Amino acid sequence: MDKSNLIFDGNLIAKSVYPCDSPLRISIKDDFFTSSAVLFSIISYENKPYELILIHRSDKGTRHRGEMSFPGGKFDPLLDSSLKDTVLRETEEEIGVSRENVKILGCLDDFPTMTRYIITPFLGLIDKNQVLVKDKREVQRILKIPISFFTSKTNFREQAVDIEERKFPIFYFNYFDDANGQKYTIWGATAYLIAVFIEKTYGFNMSELGLKRFKLEKIKHLKEYIKYRNQITKKF
């Protein structure tokens, strides 16, 4: 894809996503799943492709340790009145950007993960001069990755994994950070979210296998998903 087409265009993105309260947006609620929200964090520039902010999570916690993700976390009824509150609170905690400095552009459809979360993806614009400060307890590193990296098919990988006699798609990108010489694998829900965004915004389908992720009811009845997860990550 031509990099000149990847300079931030607010009107184009606004047409590609939903207002967060739109009845057309798929919104999922289920007591069996944990409600959560992430910020699809965008930094725009005038003369080069915009960047996405991703975080390399720490090795603490019980799930998603050491993984790459967007800022975000689970809904806390004691702190949040809505999932928008959740995503703005978590963004401030994890990368040091206050809610006043995040411009919400819209939302993508909710989707359930294999680890039994329902993610509401908010798209947010963050100023290029914003200082990012990591929460040392939760974040090992903050990375800014150009959208042009993700739209390049040479950087995209997919697998078809057999889970309970059905094929399940795994998307991933291996990003090499020149600054510290380390490789970061962006996979799972985060990679899927990026691929969906690219398809909706630019009409560019990353996947060639065309497999669909499992819907909520199928995930409910899966057993020992962690066993499959470990098998998947060994192949990256």
Secondary structure of residue 43 in the 3-state scheme: strand
Give all strands (DSSP E) within 44-180, no chain letters: 51-57, 68-69, 72-74, 103-107, 111-112, 117-126, 139-146, 156-163, 166-177
Please state the separation of Cα 28 from the chain's center in Å: 17
| Per-residue pLDDT reduced to its tens digit, 7-49 | 999 999 999 999 999 999 999 999 999 999 999 999 999 999 9
| Per-residue pLDDT reduced to its tens digit, 104-158 | 999 999 999 988 899 999 999 999 999 999 999 999 999 999 999 999 999 999 9
Q: What is the pTM of this model?
A: 0.92
What structural domains does the chain harbor? 3-233 (3.90.79.10)
Give the tokens for residue 163.
């889970």
